């Protein structure tokens, strides 16, 4: 039963250390030209990072059919 208490205490200490590491979230928006939203998440002093972006397509940005492919 003592090992359960030690395991839970260790997990709690580990969680505290993980939460002490800074998390940086940056949000950029561009409204001129094509609207674009960029979210950059950086954790563990920039060692782990991820960038998520979503750009809205303009009405004229449809894919054109490849002339080498036949429909049908």
Domain boundaries, the chain: 20-57
Provide the β-strand partners of residue 19: none
pLDDT at position 37: 79
- Determine phi and psi for 8, rounding to 5 degrees: -65, -40
Give tens-digit pLDDT for 9-68: 999 998 888 778 777 878 877 777 777 778 888 877 777 888 888 765 555 555 555 555
Q: Which two tokens stand for residue 59?
A: 């009405």
CA dihedral 6→7→8→12, nearest 10 degrees, is 100
């Amino acid at each position: 039963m003592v090992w359960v208490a030690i395991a839970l205490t260790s997990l709690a200490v580990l969680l505290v250390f993980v939460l002490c590491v800074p998390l940086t979230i940056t949000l950029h928006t561009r409204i001129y030209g094509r609207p674009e939203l960029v979210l950059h998440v950086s954790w563990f002093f920039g060692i782990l990072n991820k960038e998520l972006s979503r750009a809205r397509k303009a009405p004229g940005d449809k894919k054109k059919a490849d002339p080498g492919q036949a429909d049908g």
